[in-house]
Structure 1
Amino acid sequence: MVQDRRLLLIYAIIFFDVVVGSAVAPVLPAFVKGRFHPELWLALGTGLFLGVQLFSGPLLGKLSDGYGRRSIFIVSAVGTLLANCLLLPVRLGFYLVNRVSDGLTNGMYATVRSAITDISPPEKLFKNLGIEGSILSLGFVVGPGVAGLLLTVLDVTDAENQARVVILMAIILSTVNVVLSLLLRETKQTPPVPIDLSELKTEVGQAVDITTLWQRLARKDTASPGLKQLVLMQVALTMSTGYYFYFVTFVSFGSMQMDARQISYFFMYFGFLSVVINYVFYTYFADRINQRRAIVWLAALSVPVLAGYSFIGTSVVSLYVLVTIDCLTISLIQGLIEGLMAGHTTDADRGEIFGINQAMQGLASITTTVLFGGLSLLDLRLPFIWFALCVGAVAWLAWRGMKPKKQNALLR
């Protein structure tokens, strides 16, 4: 029963964290409005936000292995609150500083997955990590929904004032998350082990050193064969899901010219459908199927979906149809990979492995952000071709991983 309460509290913390981030997203164009190539400034902000996780993920993961998960949750919640306070002046400089500071604390998701794995029985691991994905989707719908409702009720139409209203709401919700984090009881089973400052410096140095990251991953793969293949799949998936961050730019400055309210409604639909589908899939199907084969099919079917976004023009109906198919395909892959990866961890190195994985994701995020930022300067539709190629790589890697029977048996 104690474990169930902790799990519910972790889900609540994730929920509020995502609500805050997704509520703020539709008003971010106000920070770059009037700038030369505003889409490039938004891409830069995204790159900063995701890129700093290259070292914050492994660092927070290492700290959580030594000092416990609870302290990382608290530090991250306080950091998110302070980062949102930076957005109150609707200015480009404050937006960029916010992206860096918020990205630092967003590295906690390695700790989130470690905490869920800590308290999940093996037979419920896929379900619990899948519910995490559903909670993320639920926050994804509630955030823009609350923001859109607030702007509608208050009848705020000016872009700068819309941003201020939504940021104030985000600050209030971030404060709630600080309280929830303080209420969380520790999930790590082993007692705290002090970490020397030199170890942390080494961790940060290794996190930004691609060669060292790869060597560490190779060592972990030697101890648990198949882990490296899963991390590579996660990297390719991260590159493809860069479109989540690109959507705001695409619908704001592309043919559709959506405002903050319209973007909020779009994400409401996207998130609501995603949470329902994720919940049903991970509750009733995920642990009864061949997960690798499912990843192959879901990723392969996602290729034409992502490519299709580049051909919708001004058709809102086409956008919503593609998003519906999206929720049935690529949106389900993340939890399957995480569930397979969790089986390669132990209580002693869980935070470290998820941290390495998040660092690799940070590297992938930097790469994909630079590429879609550059491609968007040529044509706002081109980035979706890149995203489609990346999800195709996920299908190929998953299919390739199914071939060696011994390795596949270990992964299952």
Structure 2
Amino acid sequence: MNYPNIAYILEFVFNLRSKFQLKISKNKSEKTKYPKLNPLWAGIFADILGFTMFIPLLPSFVEDFGATEFQVGLLLSVNALFAFIFGPYLGKLSDKYGRRPLLFISQAGTFVGFIIFAFSKNLTMLYISRIVDGIFGGNFPIAKAVIGDVVHPKDRSLAMSNVGVAHNLANLFGPALGGLLVERFDIVGPGLFAAGLALFSMVQTAFYLEESAPAIISKKIENWDKTILDKPNTTKSSEAHLEKSIKGNKSAIVLLIQWGLHTLAFMSVISGVTLFGFKKLNINERDIGVIFSITGAFQIFIRYVVFYPMLKKIGELKTAKIGLMLFIPTFFIIGFVNETYQFIIILLVMSFAASSVRGVLTGLLSRSIDKSIMGKVMGYSSSLDSVAQISGPLLSTTALTVWSLNFYGFIPAILSIGAFTLVFYKFELKDYSQENNHKDALTKTE
């Protein structure tokens, strides 16, 4: 297999680069609790911003490329299908060979995908661009694994929810920016801008993100090559052990099932919401971009004014319970909106519910497993996201073309009921006192 060698070479290059960086003084006061995550946040924001610019363009594909609504839904699903296949594998490789090289490879794939997208002249090229991006779809499982490596368990739900902050900031600017760029420069505008953002993410990962994988920071770089090349049987037995440990973890399995139900319901609504707004309320690309910007700004405000204090006061499980419960009536009634302001209110409630659920559930999942399999399990979580991104657009486009628009959110609401009931399961989470304090990753690898 050639992948380990590629990862090793990249990691070796990255660590050579870090040898020449000036070390930050230990006496310098930290502006954030986990400053080593700052490059990760910048990279995540750039990745999400590139994707959110793509959302307002979906209705225009129907007119510009002669695509049907089903083909537009399939455009989203084909990306998720390949991410479903390759995401867990990239996450597992990051457990063995390092987060940084595998994250860099994933971001490079996103860059190539957006370049192809920018110069697409037909639906086939659009599909190819989304497939390439999906094959290298390790960005988010690896990013979540990095957070799990670095952040103490008691802070993980909050840290995982910061991915939601990146989503909010991206939704604040991305859709509107995508709408403006496609109006002025056609598809090449948002495509090249998104590629530039992917390139920025690669720079952040290559030169500023510190390695955090436990298997790497506990060993010296000089011993890596020997470990990888001389002991293949140890690797195979280790993989078998990891499989067994995941299967025997009931809390992790229940959390993954809950996440699967929730994310399928969520994606079934979100993936088709622009087409729903267009068909039900005649909202165009520019207006939908403005609406997403409004909901993004609202979610940022709510996150700091309501979500953080609520999480601190009532805890993770009760916060998730509130969010999961809110999704049920919200999905049931979204199909009955008749005015734009009603549509906006529904999206705002969904934004608050998402803030209360998605980061918290991911944080709980990270606390139910051992760090040595963090990348692999986060890969499973992202695979469930991919399944939702495959099935969600198909469900939403079916609801838009076959059923009455009033029933648009009925199946997502039923799925949300299932996710809500699982929140009453008694999860076994890792004890904070058993968590070792993290040392400086850069110091350990140098």
1:285 and 2:310 correspond: yes
**Do the aligned residues in 2 keep the contact of 1:217 with 1:228 (CA within 8 Å)?**
no
Query: 1:284 and 1:294, CA in 2 relative to 1: closer, same or farther beyond 3 A?
Result: closer
Aligned equivalent of 1:276: 301
**Do the aligned residues in 2 keep the contact of 1:250 with 1:380 (CA within 8 Å)?**
no
Aligned equivalent of 2:168: 137
Q: Secondary structure at the match of 1:56?
A: helix
- List per-residue Cα deviations over 1:25-65 (Å, max 9, x = no partner): 21133333266772101110111122222222211111100
Extract unaligned runs of 5+ from structure 1: 207-211
**Do the aligned residues in 1 keep the contact of 2:103 with 2:138 (CA within 8 Å)?**
no
Q: Distance in 2 between matches of 1:70 and 1:408?
A: 30
Per-residue deviation, 1:248: 2.3
- Residue identity in the other structure for 2:254: Q
Q: Secondary structure at the match of 1:226?
A: helix
**Do the aligned residues in 1 keep the contact of 2:43 with 2:201 (CA within 8 Å)?**
yes
Q: Distance in 1 between matches of 2:229 and 2:38?
A: 29
TM-score w.r.t. structure 1 length?
A: 0.84
- Residue identity in the other structure for 1:12: A
- Aligned-residue identity in percent: 19
Q: Runs in 1 of length 4+ with deviation above 6 angstroms?
A: 34-37, 409-412
Query: 1:33 and 1:149, CA in 2 relative to 1: closer, same or farther beyond 3 A?
Result: closer
1:47 and 2:89 correspond: no
**Do the aligned residues in 2 keep the contact of 1:77 with 1:174 (CA within 8 Å)?**
yes
Matches within 5 A, 1:250-269: 250-252=276-278, 254-269=279-294
TM-score w.r.t. structure 2 length?
A: 0.78
**Do the aligned residues in 1 keep the contact of 2:368 with 2:428 (CA within 8 Å)?**
no
Query: 1:148 and 1:195, CA in 2 relative to 1: closer, same or farther beyond 3 A?
Result: farther
Q: Secondary structure at the match of 2:214?
A: coil
1:320 and 2:319 correspond: no
**Do the aligned residues in 1 keep the contact of 2:176 with 2:286 (CA within 8 Å)?**
no
Task: Please say which of residues 27-36 and 319-328 is displaced more in the overlay.
Answer: 27-36
Counterpart pick for 2:258 among 216, 233, 238: 233
Matches within 5 A, 1:59-208: 59-87=89-117, 88-148=119-179, 150=181, 156=184, 161-183=185-207, 184-191=209-216, 194=228
Aligned equivalent of 1:209: none
Per-residue deviation, 1:162: 3.4
**Do the aligned residues in 2 keep the contact of 1:19 with 1:140 (CA within 8 Å)?**
yes
- Residue identity in the other structure for 1:220: I
- Residue identity in the other structure for 1:137: N
Per-residue deviation, 1:330: 3.5
Q: Distance in 2 between matches of 1:150 and 1:97?
A: 22
Q: Distance in 1 between matches of 2:326 and 2:273?
A: 20
Counterpart pick for 1:244 among 264, 270, 279: 270
**Do the aligned residues in 2 keep the contact of 1:45 with 1:95 (CA within 8 Å)?**
yes
Matches within 5 A, 1:334-373: 334-373=358-397
Aligned equivalent of 2:68: 38
Give the number of equivalent residue pairs: 384
**Do the aligned residues in 1 keep the contact of 2:70 with 2:394 (CA within 8 Å)?**
no
Task: Please say which of residues 387-396 and 254-263 is displaced more in the overlay.
Answer: 254-263
Aligned equivalent of 2:87: 57
Per-residue deviation, 1:177: 1.8
Q: Secondary structure at the match of 1:345?
A: coil
Q: Distance in 1 between matches of 2:161 and 2:257?
A: 20
Per-residue deviation, 1:268: 0.7
**Do the aligned residues in 2 keep the contact of 1:57 with 1:110 (CA within 8 Å)?**
yes
Q: Distance in 2 between matches of 1:3 and 1:298?
A: 26
- Residue identity in the other structure for 1:389: I
Per-residue deviation, 1:285: 3.1
Q: Distance in 1 between matches of 2:287 and 2:401?
A: 24
Per-residue deviation, 1:71: 0.8
Q: Distance in 2 between matches of 1:373 and 1:266?
A: 21
Query: 1:19 and 1:60, CA in 2 relative to 1: closer, same or farther beyond 3 A?
Result: same
Q: Distance in 2 between matches of 1:411 and 1:353?
A: 19
Per-residue deviation, 1:97: 1.2
Aligned equivalent of 1:9: 39
Q: Distance in 2 between matches of 1:127 and 1:291?
A: 9
Task: Please say which of residues 380-389 and 345-354 is displaced more in the overlay.
Answer: 380-389
